[in-house]
Chain A
Amino acid sequence: MSSEHSAQVVDRVYRQESGRILAALIASLRDFTLAEDALQDAVVAALRQWPATGVPRNPAAWLTTIARRKAIDRLRREGTLARKQETLHALEQLATTDALADAEEGPPIPDERLKLLFTCCHPALPLEARVALTLRTLGGLSTAEVAAAFLVPLPTMAQRLVRAQHKIRDAGIPYRVPPLPLLAERMEGVLAVLYLIFNEGYASTSGDALIRQELCAEAIRLTRVLVALMATEPETPDDPEVLGLLALMLLHSSRQAARVDAAGDLVLLEDQDRTLWNWAEIVEGMDLLDTALRMRQPGPYQIQAAISALHAEAPTPEETDWQQIAVLYARLAHMTPSPVVELNQAVAVAMADGAEAGLQLLDALRLDETLAHYHLYHAARADLLRRAGRLEAAEAGYREALTLAQNRIERRFLQRRLAEVSARLP
């Protein structure tokens, strides 16, 4: 086997399995940094050995076993601290029971990723560190990739990750699935991080398109893992919001190919070629949503997924059930009050009851400081003014939106609309 080939295998295994391997390593090492270092040692060993010996039958198990040994080496080299001696002793016990021969047979690595996810999303960590740590440890993204995704210089991101790892260790953030009284609250935090990763990819304000798509895919993959692992937790109740979030991501993701045209311009929902929608994702999203709704504990993610599903169900834009969407936005605004949700509600009302009805709601929102600086508020308002035939006001609205919009694709869209409106003005 050529060394290039095994390098590719190492790379693929690392991408697919590093989250699981790290989660298992951290469970026995109780130390993020040591686990990461040991896994890197194991990867180096794989790159050296696999070209000669061939790729082991269970590469992930091989990497885990070697990483444990490398951790023992590291601990022996530096370890005089009592706390480390304890870990070392436990590891040595483990090492005798899982010899490499077992790795060849492929013993299942216990899946500890749920613990890792809850630890990475612990509320005692700053939000940006939760996101970065989740992508780095569970997503298997390199620090450079995470830095690029969030447009942060590499050293800044590296420092952010190290600080978070140290806080986990020093402050005693537990490595476990939270007990029942804490679970609902902590799950909310986990879902928020996953949704943030998805949104950073889906509705980002700038950056490289490929990295963005990868973020969406990664968020969906991690949420799938969460759904699957929660199903295997015997003592935790089913949380329909987890299913709701996955449904929401899939339904949004289904429109990715139709959202941007060949020239890279943004295509609004009503103008999208619906044959470009990914029906496999839509069907899966709707099935998940049905399952969630049957549990009869509605939540913000389920409602947003339901709104997205109503769009997906409409064969043509004209057949969209805007009345129902306006009702759902009103419920969402009640559950999670936010100017952005109310903005969406106003747009839905405009579609259901006419542009003027929507404008009335929008003007009532105008006082809000956050919205005054939000380009989508001005874009939505300009759009309703355009529909109402108030072209001069619409023109001013698009100009206002353009002074605030950052995203290149969104700016081009607004410029197009502005040109259309200006052309119709006397």
Chain B
Amino acid sequence: MQYALLIYTNETADTKASQQEQEAVTAAYYAFGEEFKEKITGGEALMATTTATTVRVRDGKTLTTDGPFAETKEQLGGFYLVNAADLDEAIQIASRIPGALTGAIEVRPVMVFE
């Protein structure tokens, strides 16, 4: 099965991290990517929610608002797409994402259209 592993972390805390800390996080992600390269089929890091725009169309009119869809304590900061045999394997991979140590990883099965 394919799963999306959505990484939610506290942006404010992330931006306050020292350069040394940021380098350590980058290295940890690099190591994660290496370890699971057979499983990872895609994924991106996202820029901060300060750059986000939310779009809705109502009655044919496009409504654009500044900011993310929802204001929450932790923000979607990136994601991986992985192949895993089952939820247990997906959970195991998710638990190794560096962001799991400070934030949370949401594991979502990817819909299959037959």
Contacts and interface: CB of A to CB of B under 8 A. Distances in A.
A82 B91 CA distance: 26
A81 interface: yes
B59 to A, nearest CB: 33
A182 B109 contact: no
Contact of B87 (A81, A82, A83, A174): A174
B87 A173 contact: yes
Contacts of B90: 172
A170 B90 CA distance: 13
Given A170-B109, A171-B109, A172-B1, A178 B88 contact: yes
B111 to A, nearest CB: 9
A81 B114 contact: yes
B114 to A, nearest CB: 5
B21 interface: no
A173 B88 CA distance: 7
Interface residues of B, number: 12
A388 interface: no
B98 to A, nearest CB: 21
B94 to A, nearest CB: 11
Contacts of A81: 114
A209 interface: no
Interface in A240-284: none
A174 B91 CA distance: 12
Interface string B88-110: 10110000000000000001010
Contact of A174 (B3, B86, B114): B86
B16 to A, nearest CB: 32
A189 to B, nearest CB: 13
Among B1, B85, B86, B107, find the residue whose CB has the most chain A CB atoms closer than 10 A: B86
Contacts of A182: 88
A124 B114 contact: no
Interface string B71-90: 00000000000001111101
Among B86, B87, B91, B107, find the residue whose CB has the most chain A CB atoms closer than 10 A: B87
A128 B78 CA distance: 32
Interface in A335-361: none
B114 A173 contact: no
Chain A contact-residue range equals: 10 to 19
A173 B87 CA distance: 5
Nearest to A124: B87
Contacts of B91: 124
Contacts of B1: 172
A184 B79 CA distance: 30
Interface string B7-45: 000000000000000000000000000000000000000
B114 A83 contact: yes
A178 B85 CA distance: 13
Nearest to A84: B114
Contacts of B88: 173-174, 178, 182
Nearest to A175: B86
A82 B109 contact: no
Among B86, B88, B91, B109, find the residue whose CB has the most chain A CB atoms closer than 10 A: B88
B86 A173 contact: yes
A84 to B, nearest CB: 9
A171 B114 CA distance: 17
Contacts of B86: 172-174
B6 to A, nearest CB: 14
B19 to A, nearest CB: 36
A174 B109 CA distance: 13
A174 B88 CA distance: 7
Contacts of B84: 172
Nearest to A173: B87
Contacts of B107: 171
Among B3, B84, B109, find the residue whose CB has the most chain A CB atoms closer than 10 A: B109
A269 B114 CA distance: 62
21 contacts: A81-B114, A83-B114, A122-B87, A124-B87, A171-B87, A171-B107, A171-B109, A172-B1, A172-B3, A172-B84, A172-B86, A172-B87, A172-B109, A173-B86, A173-B88, A174-B85, A174-B86, A174-B87, A174-B88, A178-B88, A182-B88
Given A172-B86, A174-B88, 4 more contacts: A171-B109, A172-B85, A173-B86, A173-B87
Interface of A: 81-83, 122, 124, 170-174, 178, 182
Interface of B: 1, 3, 84-88, 90-91, 107, 109, 114
List the 5 closest pairs (A to B, CB-CB), nearest first: A174-B86, A172-B1, A172-B86, A172-B87, A173-B87
